[in-house]
Amino acid sequence: MNGFEKRALQIKEKIRRATMEMLRESGPGKLRIADLARRAEVSQVTIYNYFGSKEALVRDVFKAYMGRAVDGFEAFMNEGRPMREKIEHILRLEKEAYRDFPPGLIKEMLAEDAELAAYIETMYKEKTVPWTVRIIEEGKASGEISERVSAAHVLAFIQLYMNQYQTLLDMAERSEDKDDFLEGMVHMFFYGICGRE
């Protein structure tokens, strides 16, 4: 990588970081390129030259975030760790995702960008489903997941969560501590209402 390419990469990362900060603060609907340019200390022209449009920039930031998360998750899962550590890792990733991309923000982003919604659907089919099946099968083989639980059961349960996503989000918003509510739902998904790990 030559000096020009390295500098361009540094500027892009600076813009992406500023975009993440601003998305957390106000969501994509209120994100303005002029404000972003000031925050990132670059010109508006630079942002457009690198990303083309505000929508493409938001999409790029989200996809880059998801790509890093998926790569990290796959590396962790390939280390041969016991089921308990895998579930703890998934819970930690969920907590980080809620912080970086709260459900309300994701909902707004998906409502405004059909391409991003299609990307999420593709990630679910090509990454989430195969990894879920693998984790279930490994857990059953090690005796850490009941033989009575199939991958189809878990995927159906995930689909129930997804179908009620808006209801769960509304309930989280009305709760005293939204993050704690969402964490509790994820914990219950993995450990049931008895909470045994």
Query: What is the domain extent for residue 163?
Result: 80-191
Is 108 part of a structural domain of the chain? yes
Is 21 inside any structural domain? no
Characterize 89-110 residue by residue with b for buried, 16 or more Cβ atoms within 10 angstroms of its Cβ, and e for exposed. Answer: bbbebbeebbeebbbebbebbb
Q: Is residue 11 part of a domain?
A: no
For the cut 60, the answer to whether the pLDDT of residue 197 exceeds it is no
Q: Is residue 129 part of a domain?
A: yes
pLDDT score, position 49: 95
Would you say 103 and 172 are in contact if contact means Cβ atoms under 8 Å apart?
yes
Buried b (16+ CB within 10 A) or exposed e, 74-84: eeebeeeeebe
Q: Is residue 52 part of a domain?
A: no
Helix (H) or strand (E) holding 65: helix 54-77
The answer to whether residue 88 sits within a structural domain is yes
d(CA 61, CA 47): 13
Task: Determine the pLDDT at residue 164.
Answer: 78
Q: If you average pLDDT over each of 12-16, 20-24, 171-175, which comes out highest?
A: 12-16
Task: Check residue 161 and give its pLDDT.
Answer: 77
Q: Is residue 10 part of a domain?
A: no
Domain count, the chain: 1
3-state secondary structure of 41: coil
Predicted confidence (pLDDT) at residue 39 exceeds the cutoff of 90: yes
Return the closest-CA partner of residue 87 out of 169, 190, 167: 190
Which pLDDT tens digit goes with each residue over 81-120?
887 788 778 877 877 877 787 777 887 888 888 898 899 8
pLDDT of residue 37: 96
Query: 166 versus 45: which is more confidently predicted?
Result: 45
Q: Which amino acid is at 135?
A: I
Higher confidence at residue 54 or residue 110? 54
pLDDT at 129: 87
What mean pLDDT is reported for the chain? 85
- Kindly report the pTM of this predicted structure: 0.74
Q: What is the mean pLDDT of residues 148-170?
A: 81
